[in-house]
Structure 1
Amino acid sequence: MAQGQMAPGIASGRLSRDELTSNFSDLHPAYAPHEAAVAADRCYFCYDAPCQTACPTDIDIPLFIRQIQAGQSEAAARTILSQNILGGMCARVCPTETLCEEVCVRETAEGKPVEIGRLQRHATDTLMASGEHPFERAPATGKTVAVVGAGPAGLACAHRLAMLGNDVVIHEAKAKSGGLNEFGIAAYKSTNNFAEAEVDWLLKIGGITVETGSALGQGITLDGLQQNYDAVFLSIGLAGVNALRADGADKDGVRDAVDFIADLRQSGDLSALPVGRNVVVIGGGMTAIDAAVQSKLLGAENVTVAYRRSRTEMGASGFEQDLAASKGVKLMFNVQPVAVHGNGAAVEIELEYTSSQGGSLSGTGETVRLRADQVFKAIGQSLEGAPDGIALEGGKIRVDENGRTSISGVWAGGDCASGGEDLTVTAVAEGRDAAMDIHASLAGSS
């Protein structure tokens, strides 16, 4: 197929700009001040609050909600940000329905939790709108740390290190900072370039320099970083995409869901973004749901998520599954791809029904075909570019409870590191905690 030519069935401009603007509006609009006050009043301010225990960054949720109730939203933001410097984005993208809100006493008693995520957004948005940065740097330590990757873990690590008086240089492969917050989150969850604005706000702490277009193996090496910096923190994410083991996986119209989402997030004109008429997404996690829902919002007529296991085993939460269904996405379970059919470009996908016994998945031999001019692969990502000599575990960089790797003076966190869930909030916690250990190590106390 000639360069720039799209596969048959894939086209741009399926919807008008007005329709697209409506479709990609904020999924959870911000509270007005009076709405926040009413929502905060529902909190029981529990002692030993289960919501705080469920938060990977250990935010004092009852305290910040009480501060909102008292009309002190900026103080509430400081409570949040002291634990989670990316609290604004986490308020938008955290699966609160399976974390803090799932264990809320109101949820247990009434089936309707306090809307902790929206209250967190209200507080952090209020503070950011003021232009204030609530933290000041400690006296300079004279130490400089290299952070590789400007995603959530790297940014959280850099901010905490800078706040403690260290200088930080972030090496980021892409042209913009933010990692998955900038390139991998559904557009309706983070509107109005919030990810970029949050990074700019975070950098107001001072002491952090960002060098874009700088990646391991592309101008820098781990050995070089170790020679030039006092410590190194790796937050390189998962750049690889698992292969689709099906005949015809190389046909036009088959692409990685993460690339599709990134293109959409960086698009200045959604009406120019091509999408298929019949779209099938392979996978069962958040990326699969984000790709499927956004395909539908762009104007695809038929969108199906095909997942090889059962609904209860799906990585995407019940809320995300319901959101997809509400947008007209069909969810298919216990099916796996065996072939993509078409003469050079995808026309159909053939799926085999699966059976799971004792945790072991096998095909049944029974198949079904769906029309598919566009197939998105959302079947997991893998680590690429890990430095030679660093120990791995389960395909990720092995770290201890403080984020230390097998190489002295090198820490790691976020999706590239072993342990924890691949969530923004978890990455923030890992970056923050690694920064504390790095600082203590450099100060000679550990």
Structure 2
Amino acid sequence: MSQARLAPGVMPGRLTPQEIAANFVDVAPPLTDHEARVAADRCYFCHDAPCIAACPTGIDIPLFIRQIATGTPDAAAMTIFHANIFGGMCARVCPTETLCEGACVRMEAEGDPVEIGALQRYATDGLMAQGDHPFRRAAPTGRRIAVVGAGPAGLSCAHRLAAKGHDVVIYEARPKPGGLNEYGIASYKAVDGFAQAEVDWLLGIGGIELRHDHRLGRDITLDALRAEYDAVFLGMGLGGVNALRTEGEDRGNVLDAVSFIRDLRQASDLTTLPVGRDVVVIGGGMTAVDAAVQARLLGAENVTIVYRRDRSQMGASLHEQDHATSSGVRIVCNAAPVGLHGNGSVAEVEFAYTATDPDGGLHLTGDRFRLRADQVFRAIGQRLDGVPEALALDGGKIGVAGPGRTSIPGVWAGGDCAAGGDDLTVTAVAQGRDAAEDIHLRLSNDRK
């Protein structure tokens, strides 16, 4: 990263187009055929494979790796897609180090797991590149289901329902489908427009209609959907961003990290995005890391993540934390913001060190410090907005029982908007899929 051209203040064009292009290449390039066969040969093909139990979608991992090892990667891809229609994106963004690879027997034997994520990408990319959608719809049932939200949960639900012969209409508030995959992950994790290509491929099954610029509570109501459709699935994610509730939060250049990542993902020219010289990101999850690393890749000279608890409690995985630090991001733990200072725009953030109470709570100590900051990103979580009052909530999210059943008959929910998840793409996919199976079962029983 060139340092000579960096200047103070929030500004675009800190790096040349060539430097930007070099910074935002694929963070994990795909395996070659030879590399995939070598990686597959390391699998023990465990009978009671712990990697399957660790996968929220329950992919038969030993089976698909054996299929790669025996020269049938397309069959491996179908094994993956039957369980997880977003196998391509999940291969790129899943925290495999804490899921399937973290449970790999090779970890105990050698400390080096089978490259499950890379092998999954190898198989799924190969089949998707052939163009034609590999699934075919069952005979039409005449049933119609409304899905609110074209994110991983909603699209997963829609695909499974369409495969069973139902007609699905997806209502999406934004101009593009994809949800978190399109708007909320770091650009270097899914390069070359993969998120939209994957959605286009998924929609190739047919029977799914997308209606954009339809927000629940503004353009459509739950009561109207229930009256028009045989079932409703809610998968609209989390629309609100939590505030710091700190003095000076309204100063200029204090932004939410979600919007920063969204704008970066949608920008056709990254050199037009303004970024500060001294950037502070407040939070400890994947969003905080994605915002911090990308600010650094855009040319920020000093980028610091500040998290209120210790590093072991950060929502971002150790792998993501290490990626941040290797990208030049500093991580400061056990500190919380108590003031944002400056004349109009932010210039400094004041923090107090925190201490943990016996009950696990936190309190601020009298030990304080300040960080210079001309740009601050909030990454302290999102909240659910615009939910009908009739829906029972659980911890600020839609309460669900079993495979996504809400408190209202005929209405299911899944993904980040529903209680009990862990805000991962793979979990949202599993919840959408399982809700679709339950919806199909309910509609099939209604016919009897």
| Amino acid aligned to 2:436 | A
C-alpha distance in 1 between matches for 2:205 and 2:388: 30
Aligned to 1:388: 389
C-alpha distance in 2 between matches for 1:97 and 1:104: 9
Question: Mapping of 1:251-266 within 5 angstroms?
Answer: 251-266=251-266
Is 1:409 matched up with 2:403?
no
SS of aligned partner of 1:216: coil
C-alpha distance in 2 between matches for 1:217 and 1:52: 39
SS of aligned partner of 2:320: helix
Q: 1:420: Cα distance to partner?
A: 2.2
Question: Mapping of 1:9-48 within 5 angstroms?
Answer: 9-48=9-48
Question: Mapping of 1:174-193 within 5 angstroms?
Answer: 174-193=174-193
SS of aligned partner of 1:10: coil
Is 1:375 matched up with 2:373?
no
Aligned to 2:201: 201
Q: 1:267: Cα distance to partner?
A: 0.5
| Amino acid aligned to 1:301 | E
Aligned to 1:128: 128
C-alpha distance in 2 between matches for 1:65 and 1:402: 29
TM-score (norm: length of structure 1)? 0.98
SS of aligned partner of 2:403: coil
Aligned to 1:270: 270
Tell me if structure 1 keeps the 8 A contact 2:383–2:396. Answer: yes
C-alpha distance in 1 between matches for 2:153 and 2:412: 11
Aligned to 1:3: none
Question: Mapping of 1:342-353 within 5 angstroms?
Answer: 342-353=342-353
| Amino acid aligned to 1:181 | N
Q: 1:132: Cα distance to partner?
A: 2.5
Question: Mapping of 1:66-215 within 5 angstroms?
Answer: 66-215=66-215
SS of aligned partner of 2:363: strand
C-alpha distance in 2 between matches for 1:420 and 1:158: 19
| Amino acid aligned to 2:225 | L
**Cα deviation digits, residues 222-261 of structure 1 (max 9, x gap):** 0100111110000010111111121100000100000000
SS of aligned partner of 2:74: helix
C-alpha distance in 2 between matches for 1:80 and 1:242: 35
| Amino acid aligned to 1:196 | Q
**Cα deviation digits, residues 85-122 of structure 1 (max 9, x gap):** 00000000000000000010111111110000000000
Tell me if structure 1 keeps the 8 A contact 2:186–2:261. Answer: yes
| Amino acid aligned to 1:171 | Y
Identity across aligned pairs (percent)? 65
Tell me if structure 1 keeps the 8 A contact 2:20–2:270. Answer: yes
Aligned to 2:439: 438
Q: 1:215: Cα distance to partner?
A: 1.2
Question: Mapping of 1:282-297 within 5 angstroms?
Answer: 282-297=282-297
C-alpha distance in 2 between matches for 1:73 and 1:218: 45
Tell me if structure 1 keeps the 8 A contact 2:217–2:387. Answer: no
SS of aligned partner of 2:391: coil
TM-score (norm: length of structure 2)? 0.97
Aligned to 2:5: none
Structure 1, unpaired ranges of 5+: 1-7
C-alpha distance in 2 between matches for 1:45 and 1:133: 29
Q: 1:218: Cα distance to partner?
A: 2.2
Aligned to 1:63: 63
SS of aligned partner of 1:201: helix
Aligned to 1:4: none
C-alpha distance in 1 between matches for 2:125 and 2:386: 36
SS of aligned partner of 1:415: helix
| Amino acid aligned to 2:133 | H
**Cα deviation digits, residues 259-302 of structure 1 (max 9, x gap):** 00000000100111110000000000000000000000000000
**Cα deviation digits, residues 180-234 of structure 1 (max 9, x gap):** 0000000000100100000000000000000000111222110100111110000
| Amino acid aligned to 1:444 | N
C-alpha distance in 1 between matches for 2:357 and 2:227: 52
C-alpha distance in 1 between matches for 2:32 and 2:388: 48
| Amino acid aligned to 2:439 | I
| Amino acid aligned to 2:400 | V
C-alpha distance in 1 between matches for 2:311 and 2:124: 34
SS of aligned partner of 1:205: coil
Structure 2, unpaired ranges of 5+: 1-7
Q: 1:385: Cα distance to partner?
A: 1.0
Q: 1:357: Cα distance to partner?
A: 2.3
C-alpha distance in 2 between matches for 1:352 and 1:287: 22
C-alpha distance in 1 between matches for 2:368 and 2:246: 13
C-alpha distance in 2 between matches for 1:85 and 1:420: 18
C-alpha distance in 1 between matches for 2:86 and 2:403: 20
C-alpha distance in 1 between matches for 2:93 and 2:433: 19
SS of aligned partner of 1:170: strand
